[in-house]
C-alpha cells in the first residue's frame, strides 16, 4: 500500500508530479487544487509555494479600484492582482468600505489605504485581512503616508508626513512620524526629525527601495539649489533622514518637473518624460561610480522608450506613463494615466528588444497601481 501522503491516485510518481506542476503558472495550479485531495495537499504546501515562486519570479500588478457599491449604496474599494504579461485578473480582494481612498501605498505584498476620513487600513492580499492601523483617530489633516519594509528585519513601517501651506501657497513639512506594523495595540506613532529640505509627497514622486524611502524636493528648494541635488532619502530602519541630498541624472537637472520616481529591479529609477522628444528615459541609480571605484553610486540610462502619446508641443494635461515593474524576460510594464487625471488608465507592456508596445488591460476607475510580489499559491 502506497502511503497517503505520497499518493496521487496512482497516475504519476509523487516526485514526477511535483516537477511537472512546478513548471506551470500559478493561476491554473490554483484551480488544480480541486482535482483531488493529494493534489490539493501538494499545491497548498508552503514549501511548494516557495519553490514555485523561486521558479516563477515575475510579480503581479496590484490595481486599486474604487466605485463598486454594496447593497447599502456605500462605495467599496477592491484590489485586483493582475498578470503583468497578459493583463488577466487572477484575484480580486475586497478592501471594504473606504470612502474613495485619498491615498494608497503598496510595497511587497501589502497595501495601505487611506480614506477621506483619514482612516488607515492595511490590506494583506494573502489573508484578505483589512485591519485598521492603531490610533487612526489621531491623524490630522494634510498628511501623507508611505509604506515600506526595512532591509534587515523585514518589518513593515509607515512614514507619516504632515504638511501645511505657507503664505505663498507652498506646502511645508510640519512634522514626521513612524509606525511599525504588526505590533497590534502596542503599536504607537514615533516622532522623527524633519527632512533636510521640504519634500513633495505625491505618490509618483515617492519610491521605496531596499528599506529607504526617496522623495523629490519641492520646487522652491530645487530652484535654490540650481537643480543639482533634489532627492531626499529616509532610512526606515534607522528612522531618520539621510543628511545629504542625492543628485539626479544629468539630463534632469533642467527639467525636474517632468520626472517621476520608481523602484525597478531593486534600484531607484528616475523616469524623465520628454514629450517634445517623444521619449521616456529610465535612469537607474547603480552601485559604484561607473569608473570602477567602490562605495559610490552613479546614474545609468538603461532604457529610452518611445511612447505613442509623445511628440506633441505641450506637456500639461497630457497622458503620463509610470513605470511599474520589469519582467523576468526584460519587458517593462507601464501604467499610462489618462489626460489630466490620476484616475483610470491602461496597462502597457513594452518590449525593449523589438520596441513593440501592447496595451493588455484598462481600468476606468483605477486610483493606484503597485506591485504584488507574494505567491498566488499562498492566497486563500
Residues of the chain with CATH 2.120.10: 59-314+364-372
Pairing assessment for the beta strands 171-180 and 143-149 based on DSSP bridges: unpaired
Distance of CA 4 to the CA centre of its chain: 42
pTM: 0.82
Residues 165-178: tens digit of each pLDDT: 665 556 677 789 99
pLDDT tier for residue 278 given thresholds of 50, 70 and 90: confident
Residue 325: which of 314, 333, 315 has the closest Cα? 333
Residue appearing with cell numbers 514615533: 190
Tens of pLDDT, residue by residue over 285-340, are 998 655 544 457 889 999 999 877 644 444 444 678 889 999 888 999 998 887 65
How far is Cα 291 from Cα 2, in angstroms, rounded to an integer? 62
How far is it, in rounded angstroms, from Cα 15 to Cα 20? 9
Residue 340: per-residue pLDDT: 59
Closest to 61 measured CA to CA, from 79, 43, 44, 49: 79
Which residues in 185-207 are b (16+ Cβ under 10 Å) and which e? eeeebeebebbbbbbbbebbbbb
Strands 229-235 and 110-114: unpaired
From its phi and psi, is residue 135 left (phi > 0), alpha (psi between -120 and 50) or beta?
left
Which own/partner pairs from 173-181 qualify as long-range (CB within 8 Å, at least 24 positions apart)? 173/198, 173/199, 176/234, 178/236, 178/239, 179/133, 179/134, 179/135, 180/155, 180/156, 181/110, 181/122, 181/133, 181/155, 181/156, 181/157
| Closest to 305 measured CA to CA, from 333, 340, 341 | 333
Q: What is the pLDDT of residue 254?
A: 55
Strand order in the sheet with 279-287: 259-264, 267-274, 279-287, 297-306
User: Does residue 43 contact residue 89 with C-beta atoms inside 8 Å?
Assistant: no
- Give residue-wise pLDDT tens across range 196-211: 888 888 888 899 999 9
Q: Give the per-residue pLDDT at 111.
A: 76
Domain 59-314+364-372 architecture = 6 Propeller (2.120)
DSSP code per residue over 35-71: S-HHHHHHHT-HHHHHHHHHH----EEEEEEEEEE-T
Cα separation, 330 vs 342, whole angstroms: 27
Calpha distance 299→230 (Å, rounded): 14
**Rounded CA separation 246/279 (Å):** 24
The rounded distance, in Å, linking the Cα atoms of 307 and 273 is 10
Q: Which residue has the higher pLDDT, 228 or 65?
A: 65
Amino acid at each position: 500500500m502506497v502511503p497517503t501522503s505520497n499518493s496521487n491516485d496512482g497516475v504519476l510518481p509523487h516526485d514526477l508530479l511535483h516537477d511537472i506542476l512546478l513548471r506551470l503558472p500559478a493561476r491554473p495550479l490554483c484551480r488544480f487544487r480541486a482535482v483531488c485531495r493529494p493534489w490539493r495537499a501538494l499545491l497548498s504546501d508552503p514549501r511548494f509555494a516557495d519553490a514555485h515562486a523561486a521558479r516563477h519570479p515575475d510579480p503581479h500588478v496590484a490595481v486599486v479600484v474604487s466605485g463598486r457599491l454594496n447593497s447599502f449604496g456605500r462605495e467599496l474599494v477592491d484590489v485586483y492582482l493582475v498578470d503583468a504579461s497578459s493583463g488577466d485578473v487572477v484575484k480580486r480582494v475586497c478592501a471594504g468600505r473606504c470612502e474613495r481612498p485619498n491615498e494608497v501605498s503598496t510595497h511587497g505584498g501589502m497595501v495601505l489605504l487611506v480614506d477621506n476620513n483619514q482612516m488607515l487600513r492595511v490590506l494583506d492580499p494573502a489573508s484578505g485581512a483589512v485591519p485598521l492601523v492603531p490610533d487612526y483617530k489621531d491623524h490630522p489633516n494634510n498628511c501623507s503616508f508611505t509604506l515600506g519594509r526595512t532591509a534587515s528585519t523585514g518589518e513593515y513601517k509607515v512614514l507619516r508626513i504632515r504638511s501645511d501651506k505657507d503664505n505663498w501657497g507652498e506646502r511645508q513639512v510640519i512634522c514626521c512620524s513612524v509606525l511599525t506594523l504588526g505590533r497590534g495595540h502596542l503599536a504607537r506613532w514615533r516622532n522623527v526629525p524633519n527632512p533636510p529640505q521640504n519634500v513633495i509627497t505625491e505618490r509618483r514622486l515617492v519610491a521605496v527601495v531596499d528599506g529607504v524611502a526617496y522623495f523629490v524636493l519641492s520646487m522652491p528648494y530645487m530652484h535654490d539649489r540650481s537643480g543639482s541635488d533634489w532627492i531626499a532619502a529616509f532610512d526606515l530602519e534607522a528612522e531618520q533622514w539621510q543628511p545629504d541630498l542625492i543628485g539626479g541624472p544629468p539630463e534632469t537637472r533642467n527639467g525636474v518637473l517632468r520626472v517621476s520616481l520608481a523602484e525597478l529591479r531593486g534600484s531607484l529609477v528616475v523616469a524623465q518624460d520628454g514629450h517634445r522628444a517623444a521619449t521616456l528615459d529610465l535612469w537607474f541609480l547603480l552601485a559604484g561610480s561607473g569608473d570602477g571605484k567602490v562605495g559610490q553610486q552613479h546614474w545609468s540610462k538603461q532604457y529610452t522608450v518611445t511612447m505613442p502619446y509623445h511628440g506633441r508641443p505641450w506637456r500639461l494635461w497630457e497622458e503620463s506613463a509610470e513605470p511599474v515593474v520589469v519582467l523576468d524576460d526584460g519587458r517593462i510594464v507601464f501604467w499610462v494615466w489618462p489626460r489630466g487625471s490620476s484616475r483610470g488608465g491602461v496597462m502597457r507592456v513594452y518590449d525593449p528588444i523589438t520596441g513593440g508596445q501592447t496595451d493588455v488591460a484598462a481600468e476606468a476607475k483605477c486610483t493606484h497601481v503597485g506591485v504584488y510580489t507574494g505567491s498566488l499559491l499562498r492566497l486563500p
